A and B are shown apart, each in its own frame.
Chain A
Amino acid sequence: MNEVILDCLGEACPVPLVKAQNKIAEMNIGDILIVQIDHSCAMKNLPEWARKDGHNVEVEEVDDGEWEVIIEKLK
């Protein structure tokens, strides 16, 4: 099981979303992608897209205004 950390700190949406979409496409099933974001808008559309795409998603607030979106690729 691979774990990939994607640093999107300082990137405005939709950049984190597009990066995550590209990254997850090249990953294997069961891999975990951790996207680090500090843009509140990406906190909404990133989990929304990942859940809709059928992955396991969890959001952790690591600091004030800084989040890690943990996505487990399921398909």
Chain B
Amino acid sequence: MRPIKLMGHERSLTQVKYNREGDLIFSVSKDSSASIWYSSNGERLGTLEGHKGTIWSIDVDSESILCSTGSADLSIRLWKVATGECVFQYEMSTPVRRVAFSPDNSKLLAVTDQVMGHQGTITVFNISYEGDYTNQSAEPELVIKTREGATKVVVAGWSHGGEYIIAGHEDGYVSKYDGHTGEFIQTVQAHGKYNEEKVLSITDIQFAPEDKSYFITSSKDKCSTLIDVETLEILKVYIADAPMNTAAITPKKNFVILGGGQEARNVTTTAESQGKFEARFYHKIFVDEIGRVKGHFGPLNSIAVHPNGSGYASGGEDGFIRVHSFDKSYFDFEYDAERTERAIASGAT
């Protein structure tokens, strides 16, 4: 396969994301501008200008009308995707690490950092689609503060229908909150159990593309776990050999893609081949590592899979986005066990 290199950012990428149809790629980086690209040919639709600091996170609603960015300049901005105008700005007290629209687009979740004496929170805003979108309420609908005895939340996302908010903590725990009331329901230790690493911070949470009934976490502890939403049971563990910054579940094929690599601060002292800056493909069910894709020369910070499973985009510490579309061999690959099972199933019908 031949990737498209997108070189519109001047600093390392922090998040890449596809919209629902997969025709647009949203990317944010530490250089304080967000970019929107057509995924088919890599043409840039435009940039979102206005933030004054690192943008940590971007999300787009399912209709691709609005997108939101959370930045280290203590603000969340809402943008009109069609024109690139900023329609609203939320002022926060601490940097915003993650933003996410709820599946029905009515709410926006923001994870604020625990710094400068402020408590880390998950803040939920109501989003209104009336008029020219500028009439938003700056008052949060819900604020979930860091629980007693728990470390700060670093990532969060909505489960199916916005029923739950799943949050990843700095100490490798994953918590589940009620999406409507913000009530704490359950927590589970997802990282730090499978190997002896000191840094356990969860770096990414992405939900299953089909029904959001389970999700994958990635962590600095060189592991990635697949967890069920309803029970928070750990279904699978994928073990890698370097800290993982991102993980994604592929639709159509039973794979997961992990990305990461050696810590950015150690990169200058390592050769490219030793840095482990590859996207790793694991089989979702059999847990084996089945392949790698080279290309970046820094750790991968974010991976997004095309919603129809035809490719993926990865953003790296090196400041590049690489958009890949899979070859036929990718779709043909099957384990013998899968093949025989399929043959039996088709014979039975």
A and B are partners in one complex rather than unrelated chains: no
Binding site for B on A (CB under 8 A): none
Binding site for A on B (CB under 8 A): none
